[in-house]
């Protein structure tokens, strides 16, 4: 019962925090918007948030700690190969941590666009036709599940750092993702190759063919540059976004659709297999 109350409290705090950030984001967006607000899309995103945050809370407070305990108990010599305290100033190791995280994020994100069943999950995020701060958490809950083996586990193996510092990193990353999705004409111009920004990330969401499968990194475009997926933003151009020919019919349907698709694909494979 106590754990249930902890989860409900965490869920409530997370929603309150997110909605506060949304309000602040709207205020920034009104200063220099890239396009008009789509209120239907906004309502859809809020509905999706309510569903997503349930799973995100359970993963953060139940699943991930359990995985960490299992690592400590069954593979004590595997986790935490790099002791962050020994890397000198905290700012220095935080940069190392961020680059490593973004490396794993880059490859998961790229796989989400290349592997059909991963794309069926990730597609929800890309069907947004009017990017705004609420698009940040317009994601399917299975994306958080995918991040456990693709990002969380390798980061556990690599790094052992103070919980407070890791918490600061997680918060900073979330704020940056909100920033990337702003409906605002914000660009770093010729310095865009150093850090992602709304102009760079809009290219990733662009519906135009020349922008397909570009700009996967969440923080550092250097990964896109190294692996030849970087497309610099074009000055003064803010392309349309979305997925051609696909419009989500509802938040609940969008949540169930990838699971239904995977089950249907599995049934077809079983039925077509030779006896």
Q: Which pLDDT band holds residue 259 (cuts at 50, 70, 90)?
A: confident
Contact (Cβ atoms closer than 8 angstroms) between residue 37 and residue 132: yes
Whole-number Å distance between alpha carbons of 113 and 233? 20
For the ranges 26-40, 91-105, 110-124, 256-270, which has the lowest average pLDDT? 256-270
What is the structure's pLDDT at 39?
92
Q: In sequence order, what are the residues at sequence separation of 6 or more whose Cβ sits closer than 8 angstroms to the Cβ of residue 46? A: 134
State the sign of the Cα–Cα–Cα–Cα dihedral 167, 24, 192, 226. positive
What is the structure's pLDDT at 198?
97
What is the structure's pLDDT at 159?
79
What is the structure's pLDDT at 129?
95
User: How much of the chain, in percent, has pLDDT values that exceed 90?
Assistant: 55
What is the structure's pLDDT at 46?
95
What is the structure's pLDDT at 183?
97
For the ranges 3-12, 44-53, 66-75, which has the lowest average pLDDT? 66-75
Q: Which pLDDT band holds residue 264 (cuts at 50, 70, 90)?
A: low
Residue 272, pLDDT above cutoff 70: no
Q: In sequence order, what are the residues at sequence separation of 6 or more whose Cβ sits closer than 8 angstroms to the Cβ of residue 132? A: 25, 26, 29, 37, 38, 41, 42, 45, 181, 182, 183
Q: Could you tell me which residue, 161 or 214, shows the higher pLDDT? A: 214
Give phi and psi for 206, each to the nearest 5: -60, 145
Residue 85, pLDDT above cutoff 70: no
Whole-number Å distance between alpha carbons of 156 and 153? 5
Residue 87, pLDDT above cutoff 60: no
Whole-number Å distance between alpha carbons of 206 and 131? 10
Tens digit of each residue's pLDDT (9 = 90 or more) over 31-61: 999 999 899 999 999 999 999 999 888 888 8
Tens digit of each residue's pLDDT (9 = 90 or more) over 120-163: 999 999 999 999 999 999 999 999 899 989 998 888 888 776 65
């Amino acid at each position: 019962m106590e754990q249930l109350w902890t989860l409900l409290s965490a869920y409530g705090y997370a929603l309150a925090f997110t909605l506060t950030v949304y309000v602040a984001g709207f205020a920034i967006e009104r200063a220099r918007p890239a396009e008009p607000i789509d209120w239907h899309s906004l309502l859809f995103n809020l509905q999706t948030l309510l569903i997503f945050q349930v799973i995100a809370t359970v993963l953060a407070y139940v699943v991930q700690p359990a995985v960490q305990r299992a690592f400590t108990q069954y593979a004590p010599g595997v986790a935490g190969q790099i002791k962050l305290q020994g890397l000198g100033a905290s700012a220095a190791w935080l940069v190392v941590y961020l680059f490593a995280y973004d490396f794993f994020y880059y490859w998961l994100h790229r796989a989400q666009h290349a592997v059909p069943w991963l794309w069926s999950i990730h597609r929800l995020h890309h069907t947004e036709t009017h990017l705004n701060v609420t698009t940040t958490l317009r994601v399917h809950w299975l994306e958080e599940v995918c991040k456990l083996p693709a990002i969380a586990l390798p980061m556990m193996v690599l790094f052992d750092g103070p919980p407070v510092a890791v918490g600061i990193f997680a918060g900073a990353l979330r704020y940056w993702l909100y920033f990337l999705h702003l409906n605002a004409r914000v660009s770093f111009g010729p310095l865009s190759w150093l850090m992602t920004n709304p102009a760079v990330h809009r290219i990733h969401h662009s519906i135009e063919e020349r922008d397909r499968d570009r700009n996967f990194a969440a923080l550092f475009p250097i990964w896109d540059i190294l692996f030849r997926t970087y497309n610099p933003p074009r000055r003064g151009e803010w392309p349309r976004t979305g997925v051609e020919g696909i419009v989500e019919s509802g938040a609940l349907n969008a949540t169930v659709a990838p699971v239904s698709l995977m089950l249907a694909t599995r049934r077809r494979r079983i039925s077509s297999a030779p006896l």
